[in-house]
Structure 1
């Protein structure tokens, strides 16, 4: 499958999820705090290369793939390369530098559920939402138990594997996933025509 086609399929999956999450947020009134980046600053986030393939292709088309790959190869920082804290001493306050191309894990966390060992759906969200929006959180948990639709992590990752089983099944620390996504794009276009007849821009 052509890499552009894979990217379109991933983006279509993201569009469906974004629509579902928008409805879920409207129904539950749960929301992230403005400027909060605590979950993004977690150094132990894992992801698949496939969910960042749209991001990698975007970099490639803008001539920034090799530069970004070099940065990833030369950094020892384990927090997400795309996350931008406001300051060194304010790592929990910041934002995604490429929000449109954030990964599946970034979209799901906070507004999607996992199943516990009894098969019950549990909303996977942060401590800040649980404590600062406790009434809405508790009401949401009850509503989910009564049938309120909520996106489910495993369902969406299963849909991702249907696009490219190999790239979706590899789960890596997030910066390694970013790196592999870029490498996949660079390798693909090493001996193929560039999209839309573009000159070599990588």
Structure 2
């Protein structure tokens, strides 16, 4: 997972630099959307990190009692949806792709998957970048990355559920794994 995320970070940074598109600092609007879906596999690095620092069980209890429909990791700063990810280095694949990745339409053409704030606030640049993508500008593609995710672990990677359920399933997977195996070395660092 970390290698996949590292590859995507490089490609996203290159695309962002080439395109000039970027999120508005502190926006968080996409994170406050109530119907984000993800796979548990995307959040295994996050769950493993919590396990290593001894907070996995407590976090699972907190998630189980959480009534929020938006992403549990989102830390709102205002009622307008401004905020940030409370676990940015461990955010999921969906979080890493949205805004800087593309999907294919029914004709196979790439369409930048981004928010209304970027489309309207950076309209001229968005139009230029969309045209450049149609002419071959490289952009990370959602399906390509999700196929790679499925190759890591098909069962966990292909299960798409609401984001908070994905977080719970990732924690349960890590906790179950280590309930029957020796604990990892304390020196292990995950990014």
What TM-score, normalized by structure 1, do the two folds share?
A: 0.91
1:113-151 Cα offsets, whole Å, 9 max, x none, are: 001011110000000000000011000000000000000
Separation of aligned partners in 1, 2:185 and 2:50: 16
Partner of 1:169: 158
1:179 matched to 2:168? The reply is: yes
| Unaligned segments of structure 1, at least 5 residues | 1-9
Residues of 2 paired with 1:105 and 1:119: CA distance?
20
Shift of 1:48: 0.1
Paired residues, number? 187
Measured after TM superposition, the shift of residue 197 of structure 1 is: 6.4
Deviations 1:71-127 (A, max 9, x none): 11111111111110013x24x100001100000000000010001011110000000
Question: Which of 105, 127, 141 lines up with 1:138 in the alignment?
Answer: 127
Distance 1:20 1:197, change over 3 A: closer
Match of 1:46 in 2: 37
Q: SS at the partner of 2:27? A: coil
Counterparts of 1:195 and 1:166 in 2: how far apart (Å)?
A: 23
Q: What TM-score do the two structures reach when normalised by structure 2?
A: 0.96
- 1:165, 1:118 → 2: CA distance? 27
- The equivalent of 1:22 in structure 2 is 13
After the TM superposition, which segments of 4 or more aligned residues of structure 1 sit over 3 Å from their partners? none
How far off is 1:196 after superposition?
1.1
Structure 2 residue matching 1:22: 3-state secondary structure: helix
Query: 1:40 is paired with a residue of what secondary structure?
Result: helix
What is the CA–CA distance in structure 1 between the aligned matches of 2:162 and 2:116, rounded to whole Å? 22
Distance 2:175 2:116 in 1: 39
CA RMSD of aligned residues (A): 1.0
